[in-house]
Amino acid sequence: MGIKRKAFILLSFLLTLPLFTSCFYFEPIHLGKETTQTPVSEGEEYVEATYGSNYSKDNLNKDTIGLGMGYRYLPSVGESKILVIPIQTSDDKFTQKELKLIQDGFFGTEEETGWESVASYYEKSSYGKLSISGEVTAPMTLNLSTAQLEAKYDSYTTAEKIYTDVILDTVLKGVSGVDFSEYDTNGDGYLDAVWMVYSPTMRSSSQLYWAFTTWSMSRTAVNGYYPCCYAWASVDFFTEKDYSTLLDKTNIADSHTFIHETGHMMGLDDYYSYDYDYDPTTRKGNADTPVGGVDMMDFNIGDHTSYSKFYLGWESPTVINQEYLSANGNTLTLRSHTEYGESFLIPTSTYNGTSYDEYLLVEYYTPTNLNESHPQSRYTNNLACYSKPGVLLYHINATVGKIVPVTNTTVKWDGFVYNKLPSYSSDWGYKYLYTTLYSNTTSMSYHTISDSSTSFYRGRLISLLPATGSKIQGNKTGFATNSVLFQKEGSFSSSSTYSDFVFDDGTRPDFGFKVKSTSSDRCTIEFGVF
C-alpha cells in the first residue's frame, strides 16, 4: 500500500519532503542527487526527541534510531493503543455498515473479519507479546466536499506539513470523550498512533486517495499531547477484492491493508522494491522482488518474517557459532516459525548481537496459523503463500551508518558501520543521522553494492535465498512459489548452488546447513562448515 515518507532535519534545513511510496516512513536523500529543501521558518523551534521508559540511549534499537529521524513508533511490545478516527466529507457520509467494518477491522474477532482484525493479527504474530486495543471515535465531518478535499490536498504546500497533517490537527481538537493519556503508552508526550479512515473511495486521480503511513510535523499539542505517527486509508480497503475466496466481502472486514500499514507504524519497511518497471499487460520489464511477495510487509499476505519479529522484539534467534554447536551438537531441531517464533541466525564474524547487522536467518515455514488461509486464497496477480512446509533462508543487511551532509542539498554515508551508537543528542536528525544503509529498493539506499549475481541479491535490507539457487526476479514468474523452500537433503553450502555466496561485507559464512528431515511442525537441520 502506501507510505508517505518524510525526510529529516539536516544542518539548518527542515527536510520535510513528503513522498509516496507504496508504503512507509522515510525517503533517503541520495548522494549526488538534488533534493528540494525548505528552511525552517524563523522563530520555529526544533522539538528535541525525548525518551520514554522503554528507550535505551546507547544501544542499537529501532526506537533510538527512529527518534533520531523524528519518528516515534507505535510500541511493538506490551500494551499499545490506537485511536481510530473516521473522516467523512460533506458529500460522502459513512453508512452504519461502513462504521461497523472499521470497528470490526481494527478490534474485531476472527468471526467478525473472516480472517483477522488488526488487533487479533498482532496478538498472534507477536506470540502474545503485543496487545493492541483502542477505540473508534464518532465520525468527524470535514467542511469540504470530496472534490474540494482532493483539490486542497493537491495544492497544499508548506515547509512543515502535508494536508493530512492539517486534517489530523483539526479532528483531534474536535474529538470528545477520549483520554489522550491512554494513547501515550510509553510516556513520551506523543500519541502513539492515530488511524484516519476516510469515506471517499480510492481512485488514481490523486495521491490523497491511497493508503499510507507518515509522521506529522505538527508542533501543536492537543490536550497536552502531540500528534506524531498516523496512517490514512479509505474505508474501501476493508472491502478489497484482492483476496477472492478468503473473505465474504459483503458482510465482513478485510484488514490486510490496515495490518500492513500498522506494521509501518512500528517501524517496519516495505519489502518489495520500488525500482519496478514490469508491465503486467505486456509482461515485459523487471519485477524486482527480493522477498518474492510472500510476507505481510511485501504483498500483504501471511505472517511476518523472522527478521520482522526479531526487529520488533518478538523473538530472539539462536546464533549458530562453534561454541553453540559444540554444546548442542551439529544437528538441531527447528520448530514452525509462525507457531513458535524459532529461528537460527548465521552471523558474520563481527556480528553485534542485535537486529541491526548483517546475517542470515533460517526459519521453518508451515502453512498454519497466520499462513493458513492464504495458500487457498490468493492475492492479486495470483500470489499465494507457500502451501507446504519447508525451510526459508533470508539474507539480512540492516547495518547502521552515519549519514552526513556533503552540500546543502546532498548527503552521504560516512563509510563506517556502527555496532553501538553514541549517547543521543539533539544533533541527531539535525546535523546528521544514524540509520540503516540499505532498503529493498536500491535507489533508496545510502550505499550501492554490485548486484550482478543470478543466485542472490546484494545490498538489500532483506532478501530470500531460494532453494533453487536462483534469485526471484523477472516478469510473470517474479513471485515466490513452493520451490524456494529447502526440503529434505536441501543444502546451503560451498558445494551447493550457493558456492559463490558472500555477505555484503565480502566475507563468506562460517556455517552452512543441510535439511535432514521435515514434518508438519518441525525439521532437523545439520550445520557444518560452509
User: In the predicted model, is pLDDT for residue 101 greater than 60?
Assistant: yes
**Distance from C-alpha of 68 to C-alpha of 60, rounded to nearest angstrom:** 12
Query: Does residue 425 lie in a domain region?
Result: no
Spatial separation of the C-alpha atoms in residues 225 and 461, rounded to whole Å: 34
Residue-wise pLDDT tens digits, 105-126: 999 988 888 789 999 999 999 9
Please, which residues have CB within 8 angstroms of residue 190's CB and are 6 or more apart in sequence? 72, 184, 225, 226, 227, 228, 229
Is residue 382 located within the same domain as residue 246? no
Cβ atoms of residues 94 and 139 within 8 Å: yes
Do 241 and 314 belong together in one domain? no
3-state secondary structure of 245: coil
Of 206, 209, 261, 255, which is closest to residue 234 (Cα–Cα)?
209
Q: What is the pLDDT of residue 65?
A: 87
Residue 464 lies in a domain: yes
Same domain, 378 and 509: yes
Q: Tell me, what's the pLDDT at 26?
A: 32
In 3-state terms, what secondary structure has residue 4? Answer: strand
Is residue 310 domain-shared with residue 188, that is, in the same domain?
no
Query: What is the spatial distance between Cα 54 and Cα 77, in angstroms, rounded to a whole number?
Result: 10
Query: 214 forms bridges with which residues in the sheet?
Result: 230
Same domain, 442 and 311: yes
- Answer whether residue 325 shows pLDDT above 70: yes
> Does a structural domain hold residue 522?
yes
Residue 236 belongs to some domain of the structure: yes
C-alpha cell of 189?
508526550
Whose CA is closest to 190, among 155, 219, 163, 154? Answer: 219
Identify whether 117 is part of a domain.
Answer: yes
Q: What is the pLDDT of residues 126-168, one digit of tens each?
A: 999 999 999 999 999 999 999 999 999 999 988 778 999 999 9
Q: What band does 424 get if pLDDT is binned at 50, 70 and 90? A: low
H/E segment holding residue 100: helix 96-107
| C-alpha cell of residue 437 | 544503509
Q: Are residues 299 and 380 in the same domain?
A: yes
Minimum mean pLDDT range among 277-286, 368-377, 509-518: 277-286
For residue 45, the model assigns a pLDDT of: 28
Q: What is the pLDDT of residue 370?
A: 96
Same domain assignment for residues 241 and 316: no
Give the number of other Cβ atoms within 10 Å of residue 96's Cβ: 7
The whole-number pLDDT of residue 475 equals 54
- At 79, is the pLDDT very low, low, confident or very high (cuts 50, 70, 90)? very high
Query: What b/e sequence results for 23-38 when a residue is b if at least 16 CB atoms lie within 10 Å of its CB, and e otherwise?
Result: bbbbbbbbeeeebebe
Q: What angle do CA 265, 271, 276 make, to 5 degrees?
A: 125
Q: Say what the pLDDT of residue 19 is.
A: 30
How many domains does the structure of the chain reveal?
Answer: 2
Residue 273 lies inside a defined structural domain of this protein: no
Query: When comparing pLDDT for 57 and 25, which is higher?
Result: 57
Residue 498, in any domain of the structure: yes
Place of cell 519532503: 17
Q: Grid cell 519489502 — which residue? A: 271
Residues 84 and 178 in one domain: yes
Say whether pLDDT at 474 is over 90. no
The three-class DSSP label of residue 420 is coil
pLDDT at 456 over 50: yes
Question: What distances in angstroms separate CA 88 from CA 40, 107, 208, 345, one per listed residue?
Answer: 32, 21, 14, 47
| Domain around 291 | 287-400+438-529
pLDDT tens for each residue of 182-221:
999 988 899 999 999 999 987 767 888 889 999 998 778 9
Nearest-angstrom CA–CA distance, 21 and 206: 13
The confidence band for 279, taking pLDDT boundaries of 50, 70 and 90, is low
In Å, how far are 280, 450, 477 from 474, measured between CA atoms? 11, 18, 6
Cα(146)–Cα(209) distance, integer angstroms = 10
Q: Is 426 a domain residue?
A: no
Q: Do 241 and 129 lie in a common domain? A: yes
